[in-house]
Amino acid sequence: MSDCLVREVRLVEIDATNHAHPTGEADGGGDRAGSPPGSAPTEPVDVRITGGVITEIGARLTRRHGETVHEGGGRLAIPGLWDSHVHLGQWSATSTRLDISAAHDVAHATRIVADEVAALPGRAGDTICGFGYRAATWSEQPTVAALDAVTDSLPVVLISADCHSAWLNTPALDLLGLPHRQEHVYEQEWFDVFPVLEDRLPGLRERALAGYRTAVAGAAARGVTGVVDLEFARGVDLWPDRVAVQGVDALRVRIGTYPDGLDDVLHAGLRTGDHVGDSGLLTMGPLKIISDGSLNTRTAYCCEPYADANDLDHAYGVQNVHPEELASLLGVAHDHGLEVALHAIGDAAARDALDAFEATGARGTIEHAQLMRRADVARLARLGIAASVQPAHLWDDRDVADHCWPDRTDRCFPFRSLRNAGATLRLGSDAPVSPLDPWLAMAAAVHRSADDREPWSPAESLTVAEALACSLDGQGTLAPGAPGDVVLLEADPYAASGNAAEAAHSLLEMRVAATILAGRLTHG
């Protein structure tokens, strides 16, 4: 952190009700309706950051000895943006992975892999690691034999877009110590080997550090100053060295742990919010529990069977953690001061998650909340559990939901219902499932269509003001005592008319002029 003076900026005010309003401008248009009148200065002001904290805001502040000056040029200033759910290691690795997201069937996917094999001869001692396939609607499902036919002895791992399954060839199965089979590896069996890919598959570790630096720089360029990192590896052990030695220091990181690392966290006496290391950027985050699967793997745990259940081994999806074990884990977390980030995509998983929160008194979030019963929307709000949601998933999952859940799509991604019930919403990406880009998440929350179709359940949309407020980690406007994290925007996020499609386009095109973390410039 460093002391600095940010000169001549216009504050964007966000109040405790999660409405936002650029001070000094009148409300107008559907995306500003309901915003409170601004109470911050209407003219450009200076922002002083001392010791990583905002200490003074006022007109024409005098520069102090040793302060760095950043010229705002009258730009709009907002608090630093947060992504409430990332897998930073996997997102970092995405830039080094073969993109197979365009594959529309098994033949297309294997053709992409075959072209990669042909283009890169002599890769002995290496691995092809791909990412992004979505097989839920394919007429033929992936098989090991299909991949073996185009890859010979080179290990190949293709990770699904939702990260809940992977399509491996035989050499990769052998290196990871997995039994031979024809189907893909999914859910807990896959989660057990996901953290050790770099250890057991040749060539992957060498790419990892460069990927981290690229990913963190890219996040800062989008105005991100903090993330909740729910990576599968033991982040509490790894992050202090990344920051202090490897220089990956452009973000605040709340470090999650999974049940397999819980004993180590408890032994260290770490509670959610405690500092980790000496950088001031790292804190202990939540206990992450993956209670069910996902829609694209067709393993999200539901109250009713999938529409295509005849093709599935588990007609209702997969319950990764049974209610008794879930309650036990939440009880331990509650007793030791840890919040819980509880992955629940299907409505049965959300029901069981809320049962466990209610029974134990644990605090934390439902992660995803993609499909919920109406009664559980109200219950989540009543219990004070936050909904950590990823709006860009609704753009990706619309067609799959129509295929798998045609009888319940009106209850998918119920953002407006949650907010109207009084629930706290936190926006994120689940990167690499969708890009680590808060403007993309906001755009999807505002306009629930990624193409020319009418929005999907438009009554569940958020306004621009609400989407922005849900991306700021509850900070509201810049004010003395707040973290010294400031983002300067080249445009007004509310400038578009009340048309949701235009507003979403404006958000997607948003340019960040500068990002300041604890008084230190990380982008600009």
Residue by residue, pLDDT tens for the chain (524 residues) are: 789 999 999 999 775 454 444 444 433 333 333 333 345 567 999 999 999 999 999 999 999 999 999 999 999 999 999 999 999 998 998 888 999 999 999 999 999 999 999 887 666 678 999 999 999 989 999 999 999 999 988 999 999 999 999 999 999 999 999 999 999 999 999 999 998 998 899 988 877 777 888 999 999 999 999 999 999 989 999 999 999 998 999 999 999 999 999 999 999 999 999 999 999 999 999 999 999 999 999 999 999 999 999 988 999 999 999 999 999 999 999 999 999 999 999 999 999 999 999 999 999 999 999 999 999 999 999 999 999 999 999 999 999 999 999 999 999 999 999 999 999 999 999 999 999 999 999 999 999 999 999 999 999 999 999 999 999 999 988 999 999 999 999 999 988 767 999 999 999 999 999 999 999 999 99
Question: What's the CA gap between 158 and 163, in Å, rounded?
Answer: 10
Alpha-carbon distances, residue 310 vs 106, 165, 193, 401 (angstroms): 20, 20, 29, 16
- State the pLDDT at residue 203: 87
Name residues whose C-beta falls within 8 Å of residue 150's C-beta, 6 or more positions apart in sequence. Answer: 110, 111, 113, 114, 117
- State the pLDDT at residue 495: 85
Q: Are 76 and 488 in contact (CB under 8 A)?
A: yes
Name residues whose C-beta falls within 8 Å of residue 460's C-beta, 6 or more positions apart in sequence. Answer: 413, 414, 415, 416, 417, 448
- Residue 514 bridge partners (DSSP): 488
- Looking at domain 1-79+475-524, its CATH class is mainly beta
Pairing status of strand 4-14 against strand 512-517: unpaired
**Burial environment of residue 519 by CB neighbours within 10 A (0 to 12, 13 to 18, 19 or more):** buried
Q: Which two tokens stand for residue 415?
A: 């953002």
In the numeric block, the tokens 């700021």 are attached to 472
Best CATH choice for the domain 291-436 from the list 3.30.420.40, 3.40.50.150, 3.20.20.140, 3.20.20.120: 3.20.20.140
Q: What is the DSSP letter of 419?
A: H
The structural architecture, per CATH, of the domain 93-205 is Roll (3.10)
List the domain boundaries for the chain: 1-79+475-524, 93-205, 291-436
- State the pLDDT at residue 1: 72
- State the pLDDT at residue 24: 41
In the numeric block, the tokens 């936050």 are attached to 386
- State the pLDDT at residue 75: 97
